[in-house]
């Protein structure tokens, strides 16, 4: 008997994956592909959309025809800050422009000058000035610098909705993609910002992320979701399977700290410290901050390993020493040893005197104290007493670093800190929003892989 599944395409900047989830939310199949980048019409690196579209169509046909599976729905989750431009015949007009592409001067300024200045525009749209990462500016850039193409644009879609369109032919928009530091959404009025209308940017009105359409373009009736932004998708399992207010600390190269329960407008100070807002599937702002945790950790560990002449992976075997943590806290009285002043541009604190440490182990404990405190400062940008956050869920690479997690639990002693391990949380979120497509089947309890973290002793 065929296994009923939801097929999810999870499109990251580096890896492109497809996953099949069954009715117990288990992954029954996972496949991954990488596609070499090409260059756009300006010679800047970008994803190869021809190959990605071909892969999606071929994979969809493959699993819909496979007798082992009964595909009940298809959905997409992708990286954000990416637009697609469609002509009146439904054809893509441009390459998929890379959000790392430099934004020429004058594009953003034209909006700031007209709509209250940079500070007010950024506050109202919950979008720090990030160049092409503000995807709305990509559309304005196309209008200003490639008018011959812009004149042919009938529809503008965010990346997840474009991939859905390739199967359904339906033009759609949804809040998680629009609300992701795009500069398009007025968070005061909870609608498109006035500049979208004033500049003739052709965007569909957003609908709920649970919306599905039949896969008419491939002559199938299977329901296809309109897609979801990856950061918002990763929150979905926690929304559905935890009752108390929480913040999610997703660690890796960056620590991305998301609080879905803090709906206060971003302040000037928060914007200046790289805070922004995503949008949840409930169409509510998700205040977010970030800190370059993984990168700063790695480049400083490299310096420590060279100084103490130890193996590059020595830090992985360093166990938490509560006595040492207390000694360091007492010795330094809470002051940072690393990054005591302004952080250098390469994030390596070359001014830190490593000779004051008796061993790599001692130096690494102090590095983690300082990095955890900096991470906690970043988290505190999006947590207030009013939002009643009870739990912190730590995911990603640093969830496996007990020094980090126990120090974080000490910094947030008024909350319960858990590590959480969910395989492919982003893909799972995209499947969960289409759960209804399994029919009258009760959603199973999801194991969030929670482990409560005891606080380290820091004096």
Write out pLDDT tens, residues 344-354.
555 777 778 89
Cα separation, 201 vs 185, in Å, equals: 13
pLDDT beyond 90 at 326: yes
Q: pLDDT tens digits for 52-73?
A: 999 999 999 999 999 999 999 9
Q: How many domains does the chain have?
A: 2
Mean pLDDT across the stretch 150-162?
A: 97
pLDDT at 391 over 90: yes
Helices (H), 172-243: 175-178, 194-198, 230-241
pLDDT at 458: 78
Q: Which of 196, 226, 256 is the last residue of a domain?
A: 226
Residues 254 and 199 in one domain: no
- Cα–chain-centroid distance for residue 299? 23
Residues 176, 301 share a domain: no
Residue 181 sits in the same domain as residue 268: no
Q: Say whether both 99 and 137 belong to one domain.
A: yes
Alpha carbon distance 145, 67 (integer Å): 50
**What pLDDT, on the 0 to 100 scale, is given for residue 15?**
86
Residues 264 and 370 in one domain: yes
One domain, residues 382 and 284:
yes
Residue 335 and residue 276 share a domain: yes
Q: For the segment 396-454, what is each residue's pLDDT rounded down to a tens digit?
A: 889 999 999 999 999 999 999 999 998 888 999 999 999 999 998 888 888 899 999 99
pLDDT value of position 261: 92
pLDDT at 263: 84
Q: What CATH number is associated with residue 458?
A: 3.30.420.40
Q: Say whether pLDDT at 343 is over 70.
A: no
Last residue within a domain, chosen from 182, 210, 226:
226
pLDDT at 279: 87
What is residue 459's predicted lDDT score, i.e. its pLDDT?
A: 66
DSSP string for 84-116: EEE-TTS-B-S----TTSPPPTTHHHHHHHHTT
Same domain, 55 and 183: yes
Domain membership of residue 113 as a residue range: 3-226
Please state, in angstroms and as integers, the Cα–Cα distance from residue 179 to each residue in 49, 220, 232, 426, following that order: 24, 31, 10, 17
Q: Is residue 201 located within the same domain as residue 261? A: no
pLDDT of residue 345: 57
CA distance 10 to 349: 37
Q: Is the dihedral of CA 110, 116, 120, 124 positive or negative?
A: negative
The token pair that represents 421 in the structure block: 């391990």
Contact between 107 and 137 under an 8 Å Cβ cutoff? The reply is: yes
Helix (H/G/I), strand (E/B), else coil: 61: helix
pLDDT, tens only, 180-233: 899 999 999 999 999 999 999 999 999 999 999 999 999 999 999 999 999 899
pLDDT at position 61: 96
Same domain, 283 and 312: yes
Query: Do 177 and 133 fall into the same domain?
Result: yes
Domain end call among 170, 195, 226: 226
Residue 286 shares a structural domain with residue 429: yes
pLDDT one-digit tens code per residue, 11-45:
988 889 999 999 999 999 999 998 999 999 999 99
Q: In the prediction, which pLDDT does 265 show?
A: 82
What are the structure tokens assigned to 312, written together?
């590059």
pLDDT of residue 447: 87
Beta strand ranges found along 260-411 (DSSP E): 276-279, 285-291, 391-396
> Is the pLDDT assigned to residue 274 strictly greater than 80?
yes
């Amino acid at each position: 008997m065929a296994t009923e599944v939801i097929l999810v395409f999870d499109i990251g900047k580096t890896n492109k994956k497809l996953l099949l989830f069954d009715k117990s939310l288990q992954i029954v199949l996972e496949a991954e592909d990488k596609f070499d980048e090409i260059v756009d019409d300006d010679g800047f690196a970008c994803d190869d959309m021809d190959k990605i579209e071909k892969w999606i169509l071929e994979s969809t046909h493959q699993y819909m025809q496979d007798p082992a599976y009964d595909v009940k729905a298809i959905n997409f989750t992708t990286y954000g800050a990416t637009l697609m431009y469609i002509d009146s015949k439904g054809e893509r007009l441009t390459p998929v422009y890379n959000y790392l592409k430099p934004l020429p001067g004058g594009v953003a300024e034209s909006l700031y000058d007209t709509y209250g200045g940079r500070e007010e525009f950024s506050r109202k749209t919950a979008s720090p000035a990030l160049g092409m990462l503000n995807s709305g500016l990509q559309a304005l850039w196309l209008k200003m610098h490639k008018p011959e193409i812009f004149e042919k644009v009938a529809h503008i879609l965010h990346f997840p909705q474009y991939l859905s369109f390739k199967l359904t032919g339906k033009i759609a928009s949804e809040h998680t993609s629009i609300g992701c530091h795009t500069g398009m959404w007025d968070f005061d009025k909870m609608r498109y910002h006035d500049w979208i209308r004033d500049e003739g940017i052709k965007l569909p009105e957003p609908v709920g992320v649970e919306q599905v359409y039949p896969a008419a373009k491939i002559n199938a009736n299977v329901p296809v979701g309109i897609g979801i932004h990856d950061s918002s998708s990763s929150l979905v399992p926690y929304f559905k399977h935890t009752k108390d207010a929480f913040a999610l600390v997703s660690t890796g190269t960056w620590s991305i700290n998301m609080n879905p329960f803090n709906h206060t407008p971003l302040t000037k100070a928060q914007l200046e410290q790289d805070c922004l807002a995503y949008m949840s599937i409930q169409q509510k702002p998700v205040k977010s901050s970030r800190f370059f945790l993984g990168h700063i950790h790695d480049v400083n560990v490299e310096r420590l390993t060279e100084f103490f002449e130890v193996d590059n992976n020595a830090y992985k075997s360093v166990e938490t020493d509560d006595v040492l943590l207390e000694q360091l806290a007492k010795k330094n009285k809470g002051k940072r040893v690393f990054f005591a002043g302004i952080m250098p541009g390469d994030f390596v604190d070359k001014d830190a005197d490593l000779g004051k440490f008796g061993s790599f182990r001692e130096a690494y404990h102090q590095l983690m104290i300082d990095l955890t405190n900096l991470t906690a400062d970043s988290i505190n940008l999006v947590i207030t007493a009013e939002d009643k956050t009870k739990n912190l869920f730590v995911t990603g690479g640093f969830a496996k670093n007990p020094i980090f997690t126990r120090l974080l639990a000490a910094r947030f002693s008024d909350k319960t800190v858990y590590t959480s391990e969910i395989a492919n949380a982003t893909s799972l979120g995209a499947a969960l929003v289409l759960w209804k497509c399994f029919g009258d089947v009760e959603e199973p309890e999801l194991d969030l892989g929670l482990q409560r973290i005891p606080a380290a002793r820091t004096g």
